[in-house]
Amino acid sequence: MTRIAGYELIASPCCRTIYAKARFSSVNFSSSAFWTDGKRENSLMPNDGGLRKCKCGKYFLLSDCTTTGLDAGENPNFPQYVYESELPYAIQTASSGSVELAARRTYWMYLNDSYREKYKSHREAEDAQTELMWASEWNKENPDKRSVTRKFFDILLRRKSPSEPPAKDKPFTFPDFEPTEIQTENMLRLVELVTSHPEKYSTDYPVELAELFRELGKFNESISLLQNISSENQDELTGLILKMASEKHTAPIRYRY
């Protein structure tokens, strides 16, 4: 569970306005669903990279603030979260590569949200159809042979009637993903920022960069990065992105840990 152990005073890097920042005693990134582009649904932690807006109108990162070590006390004053509609302006007016990188990462996920809704609708419809067909086929092969008397007593005793087990070999398909010109431009610029700021991504675990290449259709670049990851850093996500890149799929994919 994410736990907050009070709040401390910080100063914004732009105009030194004093704000409050949470002190986390423990952090939990549990979410109802994860996506290959980094999106976490219903996450216990913010998914914005610490991007905030100062009262002077400039955008900054919480990590760039000056910490005072002083307790914020009662009624702490927090910096404003950045609305999704503000992201293009935050990108345009970014005061540093780090701010632009955080804004473009959030914009990347936001621009993929419309596809996420199509993806969910498609998956729900396919799963429902699969279950329906499976139930029909199973019941044909396993007809209910209980007598009328047995059925009557089963109802009285609240015994469950025989039912089909979960469907086997469920198909897994998803809609085509066709990024707009704005999405493509944003991802290309993200690639530039990530590769020019090695301290902002791990060369031992370059999953974000591999995912950007894959969504841009640069499958060979994505595969090359993932195949060079050491065995101890291989996980479910690296395997999924590698599989999708090998099959030449560009769509952001939902998965669970």
Q: What is the pLDDT of residues 37-80, one digit of tens each?
A: 999 988 777 788 999 999 999 999 999 999 998 998 888 999 99
Q: Within 10 Å of residue 177's Cβ, how many Cβ atoms? A: 17
The tokens for 247 are 């099959």
pLDDT given for residue 120 in this prediction: 95
Distance CA 222, CA 242 (A): 8
> How confident is the model at residue 159, as a pLDDT?
66
Residue 68's nearest CA partner among 15, 20, 6 is 20
What is the percent of the chain with per-residue pLDDT over 70, rounded to a whole number? 81
Residue 176 near residue 251 (C-beta atoms within 8 A): yes
Q: How far apart are CA 75 and CA 241, in angstroms?
A: 44
Other Cβ atoms closer than 10 A to 41? 12
Note the pLDDT of residue 74.
85
127 phi/psi in degrees, rounded to 5: -65, -40
Place of tokens 């090998």: 246
User: Residue 158, exposed/middle/buried by CB under 10 A (0-12, 13-18, 19+)?
Assistant: exposed
Q: What is the DSSP string of 82-98?
A: PPGGGHHHHHHT-SSHH
Sheet strand arrangement including 51-53:
59-61, 51-53, 80-81
Give CA–CA dist 11/2, Å, rounded. Answer: 24
Instruction: Tokens for 6, please give them.
Output: 């009070």
pLDDT for 162: 61
Per-residue model confidence (pLDDT) at position 6: 83
Among 14, 153, 179, 38, residue whose Cα is nearest residue 102: 38
Q: What ranges do the domains of the chain cover? A: 3-106, 181-255
Residue 107 is encoded by which pair of tokens? 């914009």
Which residues of the chain are under the pLDDT cut of 50? none
Q: What is the DSSP string of 198-234?
A: GGGS-TT--HHHHHHHHHTT-HHHHHHHHHTS-GGG-
**Residue count (the chain):** 257
User: CA-CA distances (angstroms) from residue 136 to 2, 122, 139, 140, 227?
Assistant: 45, 21, 5, 6, 43
- Rounded distance between C-alpha atoms, residue 240 and residue 174, angstroms: 14
